[in-house]
Amino acid sequence: MYACQRDSYLKEFETKIVALSENEPYLKVELEDTILFPEGGGQNYDTGFIGSHRVVNVFREGRKAIHYVEVSSKENDAPLVPNDLVRLKVDWDRRFDNMQQHTGQHLLSAVLETKLGLKTKSWWMAENSIEEVGQSYIELELMDGHKVPTNSDIQVVEQEANQYIRDQLPVSITTHKLGDPELEKAYSRGLPEDLPKDALIRIVNILEDRNMCCGTHVQNLAHLQIIKTLQFQKSKKTTEFVLYFIVGKRVERYIDICFNRELQLTNLLKNRPLDHYSLIEKALTSCKNTKKINSNLLKELALFEAEKVKNMDPLPKYIIDHRKEGSSEYIGTFIKELTSDKGLNLFIFLIVGNGESGNPYQLALFGDPQDIKKLGSKICEYLDGKGGGSGNRFNAKINSLKEYKKAVALVEEHFK
């Protein structure tokens, strides 16, 4: 059992280096003991420092906790040497966050089972990041004799869990040897296959819930601060469900992000938060209608332009056009209309789009297969495109019009 399991609140610790090995770009360090938790039991690994050297990951190999270390290149930093005494420091913000999520899961699982008959099958702890709040989830199975829970039922579970937090109920951890009858009273999702016979098994006790667990936990539910349940989803199997949740500081940060987003929307929509949904819904409907009108107008424009070509006298050998406001629908309608008259024989070189986000350049060639074969790849190369075709068609997405004049000259030269 590691020091982090004996006391999850240890922030610093002295121990000896047992062994070192290279694992580019990191150094693998085995220690006599550690306060840095190795990934396992659904809980993420800890990070921290061995002396001045940063630990970026910790894995378990049998009984060993292997630390992946970024070796410092600073002259004043002491090198890592086997048998040397070193001081460990845990990244406490990350550790405490992991503790909050893990104990929060145990508490939620306990209430979900006793209240709704939802038994925990497994769980996953999400990594937190600067960009977004990590949302962990529990996979649940409905026990026989219980009704399918609703979102309102989940809210009741959340309220009860938060009441236990306010009641400052203790979290206790007991240790037992394999074969101890107490282990039979605790729930387990299976012990590691490589677990030594003399290993101590930990049981985390919350309320009447007893779970075997190797992770780090808070000493009192008050340290969780608050639990917030999020999405509650049914799986394809009617007896299985997934519940997303966040605990403690993640709830604080989630509220900050939501509030800032609300401020941004208020400034953008020029109205109070209560009206945001209806205003956005109205704007999306308007945008959808505008897109439909625009699509119809582009089709009409394509028909008009195609008709102009068909009425030319004499009929040109080729048509070259770049329609910035065009779309794939414009291409399809234009070519279809021109080729509806089977007696019409001309080469079409058409580009649509302006190259901006949401309106990329698209290239379409249509004509005699021999002309397509000779010109298609070369035009695509000039326009930094990627695509292909067969027969009388060639389509590509293109990235640049810097060599557009060369592509035009190529076509003009070909049809002289």
Q: 349 is in which domain, residue-wise?
A: 295-414
Decide if 232 contacts 241 (C-beta within 8 A): yes
Give, for all 416 residues of the chain, the pLDDT tens digit. 899 999 999 999 999 999 999 888 899 999 999 999 999 888 999 999 999 999 999 998 888 899 999 987 776 678 899 999 999 999 999 999 999 999 999 999 999 999 999 999 999 999 998 889 999 999 999 999 999 999 999 999 999 999 999 999 999 999 998 888 888 888 777 776 667 777 889 999 998 889 999 999 999 999 999 999 999 999 877 789 999 999 999 999 999 999 999 999 999 999 999 999 999 999 999 999 999 999 999 999 999 999 999 899 888 999 999 999 888 899 999 999 988 876 678 999 999 998 887 678 999 999 999 999 999 999 999 999 999 988 999 999 999 999 999 999 999 999 98
For residues 268 and 106, what is the distance between their CA atoms, to the nearest angstrom? 41
Number of other residues whose CB lies within 10 A of the CB of residue 298: 20
Query: From CA 299, how far away is CA 301, in angstroms rounded?
Result: 5
Of 46, 70, 90, the domain-final residue: 90
**Helix residue ranges per DSSP H, 184-275:** 249-269
Does 247 share its domain with 143?
yes
In a domain, 288, yes or no: no
The CATH number of the domain where 40 resides is what? 2.40.30.130
DSSP 131: S
How do beta strands 318-323 and 347-352 pair?
parallel
Is residue 74 located within the same domain as residue 124? no
End-to-end CA distance of the chain: 85
User: How far is it, in rounded angstroms, from Cα 179 to Cα 158?
Assistant: 36
Q: How far apart are CA 394 and CA 376, in angstroms?
A: 6
* Beta bridge partners of residue 210, listed in sequence order: 205
Residue 216: give its domain's CATH number: 3.30.980.10
Q: Are residues 67 and 113 in the same domain?
A: no
Report yes or no on 267 lying in a domain: no
Q: Domain of 395: which CATH number? A: 3.10.310.40
End position of a domain, from candidates 90, 123, 139: 90
* Nearest C-alpha neighbor of 330 from the set 313, 347, 306: 306
Give the pLDDT confidence score for residue 75 in this predicted structure: 66
Q: At a CB cut-off of 8 Å and minimum separation 6, what does 259 contact? A: none
Please tell me whether residues 233 and 335 are part of one structural domain: no
Count of domains for the chain: 3
| Domain co-membership, 159 together with 66 | no
Query: Contacts by 205-210 with C-beta closer than 8 Å and gap 24+?
Result: 205/171, 205/172, 205/173, 205/174, 206/103, 206/106, 206/107, 206/110, 206/169, 206/171, 207/107, 207/110, 207/114, 207/164, 207/169, 208/110, 208/114, 209/106, 209/109, 209/110, 209/113, 209/114, 210/185, 210/186
Residue 287 placed within a domain? no
